[in-house]
Amino acid sequence: MVNIPLPMKGQARELIVGIDLGTTNSLCAEVVNGKPVVILDREGRAITPSVVGIDDEHHAVVGDAAVERGLTNPAGTIRSVKRFMGRGLKDISDVEVGRLPYKIVRTAGSEQVAVRVHGREYLPQELSALILGEVKKRAVKATGGKLKRAVITVPAYFDDGQRQATRDAGRMAGIDVLRIINEPTAAALAYGLHRGKSGTVLVYDLGGGTFDVSILKLTEGVFKVIATTGNTALGGDDFDYAMIDLLTAGLSDEDKAALDAHVQGRVALKMAAERAKIALSGQDSTSIQLHVGDVSLDTTVTRAQYEAAIDPFVELTFDAIDFVLDEAGLDPEDIGDVVCVGGSTRTPLVRARLEEHFDKPPHTDLDPDQVVAMGAAIQASMLAGEHAGDGTVLLDVTPLSLGIETYGGGCSKLLWRNSPIPVRATEGYTTQVDDQTSVDIHVLQGEREMAKDLRSLGRFKLRGIPPMKAGMPRVLIEFFIDANGILKVQAKEMTSGVEAGIEVTPTYGLTDDQVEDMIFDSIEHAEEDVEAHLLADTKVEAGSVLRYSRKIIVDRPDLVPPPLAVQIEAAIGGLVAALESPDREVIDAAMQVLNESTAPVAAHLMNEVLQVTVHGKTMGEVLGTKPRTKASEIQLT
Ligand code: ADP
Ligand code: MG
């Protein structure tokens, strides 16, 4: 039996769990004494069927109760809601929708689908929240603890929308979702495969209605999904239907039709087939008796018969394996570990075929129904700052974007949120004023556009830059986040070689809620933010154009005769006045007038440059200052 610490007298222990929110079944696990264990309910059940039953008064039951009620309330019994998470009607095939006993509709005002039951619409997130709520309720009842924080798993192929819908479901269930992680990554964690230095893992997940296969690459303790594929309509259900065919093979056509016409008959037959299938995972033959209405069935099926019947489906999974290996540019012998996930991998034929294909036995020591939840629990305890045996921190993506402040108060992003780590990015910058011997590097985090709206992670100065004209220094800035989530920022001026840098932990003191707030904030302010950033950049550019224009009047009277000087002065005055305006277009227009007035001079200078470069001088030296900034050479403060 599993050893769950008892709550201390008078205070509820906090449960930090991993939840496998499955298409067919859901469950949760927690780390106890450094080991992940699945939380069993009082009846000793680990699994909550991912099924919601809604009666005509809109009372919902979840899990086993919903499965039982499904016999009498098929139209109000929702299974496999995970297939619809974060999806639009156009993402879902008609075949999928056609097979369902309830209606899938589009929600008013959004692309998202909803499920219509007894005249009311339910969002997939709401239904998933009910399932999560049931999992939570069971865990709380079984342990007497309080469940607030959890890691929830999703298939590797889930896109941002589907991940967000899963997060929302967690929130609706009153769970603080520490992180959404990939199911195959969780499975590899459960087997402790992250403890190696490197390696390539293939995760084979054959569940009730879906099949996924992913290849993970481990580098410096972090898993990255390098290829994934699957079939959202292949799994244990197909095995059940193959079994139904075997069971009913001896029946007359009338009896078959009678069984099929009987809703309860169909459900009972499916359940009997599943029982027979599971029996054949442990024994060589099984007998089934079933009575529905006037139809009686009494038959024996052997494992050999059953394996022949499911072989085409098993073959399909190996086609997918070949495909994913090909995607990753690997051969079967390049795979170090094969991990089995999902109840259907208990099928002996599946295990035998995997061993044959990879020439090594797959990992099957852990319960294939439980490994995803166990791995999620390990990740949850890591994120909550506990130790999962070895203390490795596994932050596999950066939760927020990172960048530096540029002249004018904008932020130049070097790393975007959700970048898998470890990750490195380099960008070139330059100075804004002549003879600037130091630059301030202000490291920022978040999704907004302006430095003032971002989280400041730290600042440092790069000193000792030899005096040069503005725009001449080449400051390379490198961001590197290592496997532990530590950010190292390094700045180097290339012509002189001076360097400086800092190290910060971007996630330090940051809760998941804050991360979400920051992201939501940026969405809310997206438009004004972009406008503010553009305005700031325009002002910087205007400053640069002003300096350049004033300089040529003074430095090159040979090229600027008095009438032209008057014209340029007027345009300078126009731009200075325009800079008072909050309207970017007003500044842009004035800048254009000034640029046009200096255009003949610029053309002349350009010609000179072309000649002078031949004599070893650069354009910058001739022009004195840069009229324009290249996007990759944003000016530093
Ligand atoms: P999901 O990931 O879709 O939620 P699971 O991983 O829980 O699904 O797998 C459920 C499937 O596993 C069902 O089709 C079930 O019949 C099948 N299954 C469970 N135990 C066995 C077994 N011993 N032998 C074969 N299939 C099994
Ligand atoms: Mg699963």
CATH of the domain at 482: 2.60.34.10
| Residue 342, pLDDT score | 95
> Which residues have CB under 8 Å from 528's CB, separation 6+?
none
> Ligand 1 pocket check: which of 157, 277, 284 to mutate, most ligand atoms within 8 Å of Cβ?
277
For residues 35 and 149, membership in a common domain is answered with yes
Question: Mean pLDDT score of the chain, rounded to an integer?
Answer: 84
417 is in which domain, residue-wise?
402-511
What is the band of 94 on the pLDDT scale with cuts at 50, 70, 90?
low
| Residue 510, pLDDT score | 58
Decide which of 344 and 112 is more confident.
344
For 513-578, give the DSSP string.
HHHHHHHHHHHHTHHHHHHHHHHHHHHHHHHHHHHHHHHHHHH-TTT--HHHHHHHHHHHHHHHHH
What is the band of 558 on the pLDDT scale with cuts at 50, 70, 90?
confident
> Which residues have CB under 8 Å from 550's CB, separation 6+?
572
Residue range 242-265: mean pLDDT, rounded: 88
Residue pair 301/190 in contact by the 8 Å Cβ criterion: no
Name which of 2, 45, 3 is nearest 26 in CA terms.
45
- Give me the catalytic one of 30, 41, 82, 633: 82
Q: How far is the CA of 154 from the centre of ligand 2 (A)?
A: 9
Does residue 517 sit within a domain? no
- Other Cβ atoms within 10 Å of 190 Cβ, number: 28
Does residue 199 sit within a domain? yes
Q: How far is CA 240 from CA 32, 73, 251, 270, 309, in A?
A: 36, 21, 17, 7, 10
Q: For residues 218 and 225, what is the distance between their CA atoms, to the nearest angstrom?
A: 9
What is the band of 624 on the pLDDT scale with cuts at 50, 70, 90?
very low
What is the band of 621 on the pLDDT scale with cuts at 50, 70, 90?
very low
Name, of 234-243, 258-267, 506-515, the range with top average pLDDT: 234-243
Q: How far is the CA of 344 from the centre of ligand 1 (A)?
A: 4
What is the band of 515 on the pLDDT scale with cuts at 50, 70, 90?
low
Q: For residues 125 and 162, what is the distance between their CA atoms, to the nearest angstrom?
A: 10
For residues 532 and 631, membership in a common domain is answered with yes
| Residue 631, pLDDT score | 30
What is the band of 147 on the pLDDT scale with cuts at 50, 70, 90?
very high
Which residues neighbour ligand 2 (ion) by CB within 5 Å? Answer: 22, 207
pTM of the model: 0.63
Does residue 572 sit within a domain? yes
Residue range 321-334: mean pLDDT, rounded: 94
Q: For residues 13 and 358, what is the distance between their CA atoms, to the nearest angstrom?
A: 44
| Residue 136, pLDDT score | 95
Question: Between 562-578 and 584-614, two packed helices, what is the crossing angle to 10 degrees?
Answer: 140
Q: How far is the CA of 64 from the centre of ligand 2 (A)?
A: 17
Does residue 318 sit within a domain? yes
Name, of 248-257, 388-397, 551-560, the range with top average pLDDT: 248-257
Q: Is the pLDDT of residue 392 over 60?
A: no
CATH of the domain at 593: 1.20.1270.10
Count of domains for the chain: 4
| Residue 618, pLDDT score | 40
Q: What is the pLDDT of residues 222-235, one digit of tens each?
A: 788 888 888 888 99
For residues 257 and 339, membership in a common domain is answered with yes
For residues 30 and 134, membership in a common domain is answered with yes
Q: How far is the CA of 325 from the centre of ligand 2 (A)?
A: 21
Provide the percentage of residues in the chain whose pLDDT is more than 70: 86
Residue pair 399/414 in contact by the 8 Å Cβ criterion: no
Q: What is the pLDDT of residues 335-355, one digit of tens each?
A: 999 999 999 999 999 999 999
Conformational region of residue 363, where left means phi above 0, alpha means psi within -120 to 50, and beta covers everything else: beta
For residues 180 and 283, membership in a common domain is answered with no
Q: For residues 502 and 492, what is the distance between their CA atoms, to the nearest angstrom?
A: 12
For residues 217 and 350, membership in a common domain is answered with yes
| Residue 204, pLDDT score | 98
Catalytic residue flag (residue 453): no
For residues 171 and 84, membership in a common domain is answered with yes
Does residue 299 sit within a domain? yes
User: Is residue 5 within a helix (H) or strand (E), and if so which, with residue range?
Assistant: none
Residue pair 218/196 in contact by the 8 Å Cβ criterion: yes
- Give me the catalytic one of 168, 183, 237, 396: 183
**Nearest alpha carbon, ligand 1 atom 10:** 208
Q: How far is the CA of 578 from the centre of ligand 2 (A)?
A: 61
Catalytic residue flag (residue 183): yes
Name which of 338, 346, 265 is nearest 310 in CA terms.
346
β-sheet bridge partners, residue 425? 479
Q: For residues 389 and 54, what is the distance between their CA atoms, to the nearest angstrom?
A: 43
Determine whether the shortest distance from the Cβ of 26 to ligand 1 is under 6 A.
Answer: no
For 308-377, give the DSSP string.
HHHHHHHHHHHHHHHHHHHHHT--GGG--EEEEESGGGGSHHHHHHHHHHHTSPPB-SS-TTTHHHHHHH
| Residue 100, pLDDT score | 74
Determine whether the shortest distance from the Cβ of 24 to ligand 1 is under 6 A.
Answer: yes
Does residue 391 sit within a domain? no
Residue range 451-464: mean pLDDT, rounded: 87
β-sheet bridge partners, residue 402? 415, 445
Question: E-assigned strands of 47-145?
Answer: 48-49, 51-54, 60-62, 77-79, 103-106, 113-117, 120-122
Residue pair 597/568 in contact by the 8 Å Cβ criterion: yes
Q: For residues 180 and 174, what is the distance between their CA atoms, to the nearest angstrom?
A: 15
Least confident of 48-62, 350-364, 426-440, 609-623: 609-623
> Which residues have CB under 8 Å from 159's CB, separation 6+?
86
CATH of the domain at 315: 3.30.420.40
Determine whether the shortest distance from the Cβ of 281 to ligand 1 is under 6 A.
Answer: yes
| Residue 305, pLDDT score | 97
Q: Is the pLDDT of residue 356 over 50?
A: yes
Atom of ligand 1 nearest to the CA of 235: 14
For residues 22 and 158, membership in a common domain is answered with yes
Residue carrying structure tokens 């991998």: 345
Does residue 7 sit within a domain? no
For residues 217 and 230, membership in a common domain is answered with yes
Q: For residues 95 and 519, what is the distance between their CA atoms, to the nearest angstrom?
A: 36
Residue pair 362/340 in contact by the 8 Å Cβ criterion: yes
For residues 504 and 428, membership in a common domain is answered with yes
| Residue 154, pLDDT score | 93
Atom of ligand 1 nearest to the CA of 281: 24
Q: What is the pLDDT of residues 72-89, one digit of tens each?
A: 888 899 998 998 998 887
- Would you mind telling me the total number of residues written for the chain in this entry? 637
Residue range 521-546: mean pLDDT, rounded: 81
Q: What is the pLDDT of residues 2-50, one digit of tens each?
A: 333 333 344 578 899 999 999 999 999 999 888 899 999 878 889 999 9
Residue carrying structure tokens 């469940």: 147
Domain endpoint, select from 452, 480, 511: 511
498 three-state secondary structure: coil
Q: Is the pLDDT of residue 399 over 80?
A: no
Question: Between 236-247 and 263-280, two packed helices, what is the crossing angle to 10 degrees?
Answer: 100
Determine whether the shortest distance from the Cβ of 637 to ligand 1 is under 6 A.
Answer: no
Determine whether the shortest distance from the Cβ of 207 to ligand 1 is under 6 A.
Answer: yes
Half-sphere exposure for 482 (CA within 13 Å, toward CB): 10
Q: What is the pLDDT of residues 573-612, one digit of tens each?
A: 999 999 988 888 899 899 999 988 888 888 777 766 555 4
Q: Is the pLDDT of residue 377 over 70?
A: yes
β-sheet bridge partners, residue 297? 290
**Nearest alpha carbon, ligand 1 atom 20:** 343
Q: How far is the CA of 369 from the centre of ligand 1 (A)?
A: 7
Does residue 233 sit within a domain? yes
Residue carrying structure tokens 């999992």: 135
> Which residues have CB under 8 Å from 416's CB, separation 6+?
398, 401
Q: For residues 242 and 224, what is the distance between their CA atoms, to the nearest angstrom?
A: 36
Name, of 129-138, 228-237, 450-459, 618-627, the range with top average pLDDT: 129-138
β-sheet bridge partners, residue 85? none
| Residue 619, pLDDT score | 39
Q: Is the pLDDT of residue 101 over 80?
A: no
Residue pair 297/303 in contact by the 8 Å Cβ criterion: no
Decide which of 392 and 208 is more confident.
208
Atom of ligand 1 nearest to the CA of 25: 4
> Ligand 1 pocket check: which of 19, 20, 21, 25 to mutate, most ligand atoms within 8 Å of Cβ?
25
Q: What is the pLDDT of residues 170-199, one digit of tens each?
A: 999 999 998 999 999 999 999 998 887 789
For residues 34 and 173, membership in a common domain is answered with yes
For residues 624 and 481, membership in a common domain is answered with no
Pairing of strands 146-154, 14-21: parallel
